[in-house]
Structure 1
């Protein structure tokens, strides 16, 4: 970067203080939600028709670029500004777009593998920010969300959001890298556990149907299970690798069952606006579970690193009063 400092923060809400040359649809004083990616609208690949979020110029604002949300003032492009849902507080508005739009694209952006009424959907990390949004979006679209969790508190959170049921991952032992296929004993033990996991999915669903979509972000620990469990011609769609970046895939299941392993990264402007409409209409809740102050930014990042966050999403106030003050 040209600057010798970096301001992080990749989503937020606030009031427009000033506008630059050529801005048409955003005005000073507007109440807006800020989405999480930037790109060059004049880039050759975008002009040729590519989805902007897949452009070679796309970057995560406040992470790969400077002047993010963790400051009194920030700098964004016009297309990042979405109308703030009137029913939401400022902190609620600041908490839903990154996880929500990411989940929305995963579930609706990859034709023909989009959630349709009755589709079973397996959601890893069901009580986290991404999982909380994915559960609600799946339900709104008519799908059947089944969430993976690690304790009773997180189970209650997912059921409240509309999950058909939950699977406690701590009751299974097959997580991590896929065993060597030539190690018959290890592979047999892994297969027995993954089938037991699948039987639990069937039990919750009430019928022997595989998930049409598996919403992934955990990566290394769970990809082997996701690929095995996914329905014929179904999709495993992944937006991260929180347990590691090695993804072991038994290619026999991928090609012979014609499954799809799809990478997905945040969302485009249309998807952000469609999600915001669902939030504004009260169909999707931001699931704000923790609000901190500016000085707590390091703390909440540590909570995420330690996987000890409360269920849902978090927000911090930057030079702002509490919503009820």
Structure 2
């Protein structure tokens, strides 16, 4: 596991909790061979970020549901492995908004997901527990494989798809995301990636890009894969050259990948952000047109009323036409309630609004006349199937896409990392080191990294001497 010189700020508690004895961790960090790893004993317990069922009602009646109060880091039992699963030692993970939803127990406590999954029986029953290990991103090393696993072996370096599918369900073979038994790992399943170990199905695995560090690789799969399906896939907007694409939250985990994909595909990215600091970061990312919400007088997370929606839409549309030469062919919207009505209004005649989430609320209101009379479409998109994720990861290996990691926390400080995402005081992706002791490890192809160029990697990183430009308090001014 070669090291590179890390420039990402690393947040680690001054007096971290002592780790339990773990011969497997020692072997991995000591450079053990695959054969040695296969012979090394596993711990009976491991360290994980998790929720407890007894805390479900802890935020009742409170306005600020601070995730630092509900997220725990401690030991949990090592689960049994099913025949089609692998056990991965997680070197790094990252925070997604589903970690926030889980930790505030909204819109539903995730323990209800675990109970329904466990009720299906068999190995699924393991997931119905009084604790829930979170995390839907991860990069690490396979340390055990189930008896039914064919294409992977101990010692392989992998990243994990956030989607768990049932390969015995017919719909899965048309598109994995259409299967009724599709679940998001670490959100709708237990044993997620914010831990020293995780259990995943072999059908969730993709090889880790060899030129990336553990934390860079762990920041890719959920957000980049989701953006790929939304924009590039035939299942999404099917973007073409010359398309004008409006991207809300363009420096977020999803938005920053969307900007790169639009640029790569010959489109014109129009990024909307909520502060001057984020606008500066978006320019560094290479976005063609950068719009601060203050330019159109757009406020916080509350949805505008019908008249205000049209007023804001007209202001934003005028700016886009002046700078891009036309109305958006595609609107990329994961913000939800605060922006969706404007998105439907703004898309051009025959245009597309593609949505994958609702970080400001699920109940969307829009004027349907602007949809049906102008032949627009709304496309719902969710994560990515395995083929789409493989194609997306190939773009990283070709140097066409770059990680959008901005900062890294230790697993002990996962509460602080998740709070950063909850308050939208972050850029791009917030990484979490799990078993890796420090940033910069995991590169096994330094030649490829050098050819791509260290200076091109992680365009949203806080470089030495520039921390003040993007510190959290500067970003709190805007939430989209």
Same fold? TM cut 0.5: yes
Match of 1:306 among 411, 423, 448: 423
Structure 1, gaps ≥5 residues long: 181-186
Bigger radius of gyration: 2
1:13 and 2:143 matched: no
CA distance in 1, matches of 2:305, 2:205: 47
Contact 2:229-2:236 within 8 A present in 1 as well:
no
In 2, Cα distance between equivalents of 1:4 and 1:240? 27
Q: Secondary structure at the match of 1:155?
A: helix
State the shift of 1:110 in Å: 4.2
Moved more, 82-91 or 150-159: 150-159
Question: What residue in structure 1 maps to residue 323 of structure 2?
Answer: 204
2:72 match? none
| Counterpart position of 2:244 | 120
CA distance in 2, matches of 1:192, 1:17: 57
Q: Decide which structure has greater strand share.
A: 2
For residues 218-263 of structure 1, give each alpha carbon's deviation from its aligned partner in whole angstroms, at most 9, with x where no partner exists: 1111111100110111110011111111111211111111101111
| 1:315 lines up with 2:431 in the alignment | yes
Displacement, 1:171? 3.1
- CA drift of 1:174 comes to 5.5
- In structure 2, the partner of 1:183 is none
Distance 1:104 1:153, change over 3 A: same
SS at match of 2:432: strand
Structure-1 separation of matches of 2:309 and 2:344: 13
Matched with 1:105 is 229
Are 1:249 and 2:249 an aligned pair?
no
Give the corresponding residue for 1:22.
148
Provide the rounded CA distance (Å) in 2 between the counterparts of 1:192 and 1:5: 47
**Within the alignment, does 1:295 sit opposite 2:412 as a pair?**
yes
**Other structure's SS at 2:256 match:** helix
Native 8 Å contact 2:136 2:192 kept in 1: yes
Instruction: Work out whether residues 312 and 342 of structure 2, in 8 Å CA contact, stay in contact via their aligned partners in 1.
Output: no
Matches within 5 A, 1:197-276: 197-205=316-324, 207=325, 209-276=326-393
Q: Are the counterparts in 2 of residues 178 and 248 from structure 1 also a CA contact under 8 Å?
A: no
Residue of structure 2 equivalent to 1:32: 158
Matched ranges for 1:59-208 at <5 A: 59-110=183-234, 113-173=237-297, 176-177=302-303, 179=305, 187=307, 190-205=309-324, 207=325
TM-score between both structures, scaled by the size of structure 1: 0.92
The CA distance in 2 between the partners of 1:177 and 1:151, in whole Å, is 19
CA distance in 2, matches of 1:324, 1:139: 28
1:180-205, Cα deviation, whole Å (9 max, x unpaired): 5xxxxxx2x54333211111112221
Q: 1:229 and 1:78 mapped to 2: Cα distance?
A: 42
SS in 1 for 2:271: strand
Are residues 157 and 22 of structure 1, via their aligned partners in 2, closer, same or farther at CA, if it must alter by over 3 Å?
A: same
What is the CA-CA distance between 1:154 and the residue it aligns to?
1.1
Q: Match for residue 284 of structure 1?
A: 401
Structure 2: segments with no counterpart, 5+ residues: 1-126, 442-480
User: What residue in structure 2 maps to residue 184 of structure 1?
Assistant: none
